[in-house]
Amino acid sequence: MKESSNASRKGEDRRKRRGLFGRFARNRDGAVAIEFVALAIPFSLLVFAILESCISFAAQQVLTTATDRVARQLRTGQIKAATVTESSLKAAICDQLEIIVAAGCPGLEVDLREYATFEDAAKERVKLTADKDIDTSDFDVDPGPSLSKNMLRVFYRWPVMTDFMRKSVSNLKDGKTLHFATATWQNEPFDD
């Protein structure tokens, strides 16, 4: 008799548990909130990644356009080689960048030089220091005269705006990304 009462109690307990779990499984109160939270996090990450990429791409395009414009002015003699200094070159580029970067263009670096041949200019490489920053030790601003071959390289340390993406997106120290533009040309014949 004891065995049958134990068996019936066990069966009853199973039915109660099944009923409790069954009610829990059928209950839909709060399911939308849980599903929303489960989807909101990856969706937010995706949206922030898209925004970060779009803004960075737009800044890169503005930098490239500014570099091309200044190079054209140098190539045609509108900006005289004798009057070009590092600060005047940075100012000419920065004037066009300020629509998308901070005032004064912090993180802007320029390298403008004359080369004997286009092959020599093509050998230039971007160098990084041991602490993952741009090596500017050999940068110079020394444009050539009429009919000389020149190359302008412009670098900008772009800050990654989204904190949680900084580690995976940045390639420089301090969570910044290197934006780079270059223009290589032969000056037109103009009066020096």
Total structural domains in the chain?
A: 1
C-alpha–C-alpha distance, residues 39 and 60, integer Å: 32
Residue 160 lies in a domain: yes
pLDDT band at 191 (very low <50, low <70, confident <90, very high): confident
- Cα–Cα nearest to 111, from 189, 181, 6: 181
Q: Tokens 């037109």 sit at which residue?
A: 188
pLDDT digits (tens, 9 = 90+) for 83-124: 899 999 999 999 998 888 778 888 899 999 999 999 999 999
Give the pLDDT score at 43: 92
Distances, alpha carbon 27 to alpha carbons 13, 16, 31, 137, 171, in Å: 21, 16, 8, 68, 49
Expressed as residue numbers, the domain containing 157 is: 56-187
Residue 38 lies in a domain: no
Residue 153 lies in a domain: yes
176 neighbors 159 (Cβ within 8 angstroms): yes
Average pLDDT over residues 51-73: 93
Residue 107 lies in a domain: yes
Distances, alpha carbon 144 to alpha carbons 43, 127, 178, 191, 192, in Å: 52, 23, 27, 12, 10
Query: What amino acid occupies position 152?
Result: L
Cα angle value 164/165/167 (rounded, 5°): 95
Residue 137 lies in a domain: yes
Please give the residue that has the higher pLDDT: either 20 or 67: 67
Average pLDDT over residues 163-182: 84
* pLDDT beyond 90 at 139: yes
Please give the residue that has the higher pLDDT: either 120 or 35: 120
- What is the layout of strands, in order, in the sheet containing 149-159? 141-142, 108-115, 149-159, 176-186
pTM (2 decimals)?
0.76
Give the pLDDT score at 45: 87
C-alpha–C-alpha distance, residues 173 and 185, integer Å: 32
Residue 19 lies in a domain: no
Looking at every residue in the chain, the average pLDDT score rounds to 85
Residue 167 lies in a domain: yes
Q: Tokens 């290197």 sit at which residue?
A: 178
pLDDT band at 169 (very low <50, low <70, confident <90, very high): confident
For the ranges 38-47, 87-96, 148-157, 164-173, the lowest mean pLDDT is seen at 164-173
C-alpha–C-alpha distance, residues 53 and 3, integer Å: 70
For the ranges 48-52, 101-105, 110-114, 139-143, the lowest mean pLDDT is seen at 101-105
Residue 135 lies in a domain: yes
The DSSP bridge partners found for residue 153 are 111, 182
Average pLDDT over residues 56-83: 93
